[in-house]
Structure 1
């Protein structure tokens, strides 16, 4: 395990959650790095939507790799959302993640949700994790289960079953987007690996999640959607001849400077 990867692993401290903002291009990643975040993730929705492709369908393998190449020189630790690995062949998934690791990526999110709205069999998802860990042992594999996201029956039981399978396959963390607040503490206690949850406006903040034993809080696609919403609001306000109630925008010079750092 190299120093950067070891540092990323060490940022996952149950009870002291790492806030992981998610970026979709160079500017959004560089801006978050400039604000002092030690690690940044990518958002698969933002990456896909920015190039006119749907999320969660395995359509952005090339774009994901190219984004990692663009971000490799930023002074930040980068973890990449690879959806389901862009293949159902564990060896192909491992090859792709090895390419990312060669660019300096320190972690990946690997999910079990499928484009048809079903969950991949636990054995297949575990095999992908195992193949990745065999190819790049030090890389942080954050195994995501969409048990709640996809509305399967008894999602807590399903998530715990998958947590065990993914842990045994070598996963370094468990990501449970959509898990209800009253299940988070149990998941943190039972997962056996650092627990990652998705930030939800109006939901628990860092202090409460720390008390529940969470190790990582991701913003997911929220920052991308908020930026898109702000752009729409501003354009609508200009068209309507009214003032838009927006946060202060970064200056031209500040954004320009991001590409020089």
Structure 2
């Protein structure tokens, strides 16, 4: 599979619907269902390993999964959170290793620690460093201004800086209103990527607005968890409302609790 083969997928008659897998089998079944490209969900990959998302904790797990996914006959894009390192050259080294595997693209975000944003100029430098090292790789630059609800007024500035740094796509999750999407499409030469939302425009409406890529994020992974828990509860005989898909915050809370060290009770008293 050509490493540059992801880019033409953004220039068809309809947006690229890019489902996000969390392990090899979920990805393989999505390919079997006819999807022409596959991405990963950082939450799903981290959570499957018992690790929190957005904390640069799952670099090894992400790389291991990427090595498996490149066996599939479609382009693969890997979500690398913010790059799993603070040093830009170190991030570029990691991305270069992914490219050597045959990965077609990456998704890299300007969110830090699920609460803050990187300075736009520094994030642009990170994108430039990565593209200089691996120019053939499709770099989808994610800005979390709307996702976090922080510094939204900087979104268009970030879009310009990231495009100028060499990004190949712009991802702005958290936007569901048509007016803002229209503004974003007009403000960047890059294909605009949105995050699927059940309360947002449908695929036809997004296509009419000029959106070129629709990601599912963690929705598929969370739906799978909800279905599994619901089935388990029904087998136990629960008669109440069956489980729905757990939200992002719930999963992160469970992972945080699981990763909290147990306090040492001290020496036993006699």
When the two structures are superposed, what TM-score results if normalisation uses the length of structure 2? 0.86
Does 2:204 correspond to 1:173? no
Q: Deviation per CA, 1:121-147, whole angstroms, max 9, x where unpaired? A: 112211111111111101100000000
For residue 149 of structure 1, report the CA deviation from its aligned partner: 1.2
For residue 14 of structure 1, report the CA deviation from its aligned partner: 7.3
Larger Rg: 2
1:14·1:213 contact (CA, 8 Å) conserved in 2? no
1:163·1:174 contact (CA, 8 Å) conserved in 2? yes
1:145·1:177 contact (CA, 8 Å) conserved in 2? yes
For residue 4 of structure 1, report the CA deviation from its aligned partner: 1.9
Number of aligned residue pairs: 242
- What SS does the aligned partner of 1:143 have? strand
Q: Return the alpha-carbon distance in structure 1 between the equivalents of residues 166 and 110 of structure 2.
A: 15
Partner of 1:28: 26
Q: Deviation per CA, 1:42-75, whole angstroms, max 9, x where unpaired? A: 0000000000000000001111100011112111
Q: Return the alpha-carbon distance in structure 2 between the equivalents of residues 239 and 128 of structure 1.
A: 50
Q: Return the alpha-carbon distance in structure 2 between the equivalents of residues 74 and 5 of structure 1.
A: 13
Q: Return the alpha-carbon distance in structure 1 between the equivalents of residues 10 and 160 of structure 2.
A: 19
Partner of 1:183: 180
Q: Deviation per CA, 1:236-259, whole angstroms, max 9, x where unpaired? A: 11111669999xxxxxxxxxxxxx
Partner of 1:160: 156
Partner of 1:194: 191
Partner of 1:203: 200
Unmatched runs of 5 consecutive residues or more in structure 2: 244-270
Partner of 1:115: 113
Structure of greater relative contact order (alpha carbons < 8 Å, 6+ residues apart): 1
Q: Compute the RMSD of aligned alpha carbons.
A: 1.8
Q: Trace 1:12-91 onto structure 2 (pairs within 5 A).
A: 12-13=10-11, 16-91=14-89
For residue 213 of structure 1, report the CA deviation from its aligned partner: 0.3
2:20·2:39 contact (CA, 8 Å) conserved in 1? yes
Match of 1:10 among 8, 11, 17: 8
- What SS does the aligned partner of 1:4 have? coil
- What SS does the aligned partner of 1:217 have? strand
Unmatched runs of 5 consecutive residues or more in structure 1: 247-261
Q: Return the alpha-carbon distance in structure 1 between the equivalents of residues 136 and 42 of structure 2.
A: 23
Q: Which runs of 4+ in 1 moved over 4 A?
A: 241-246
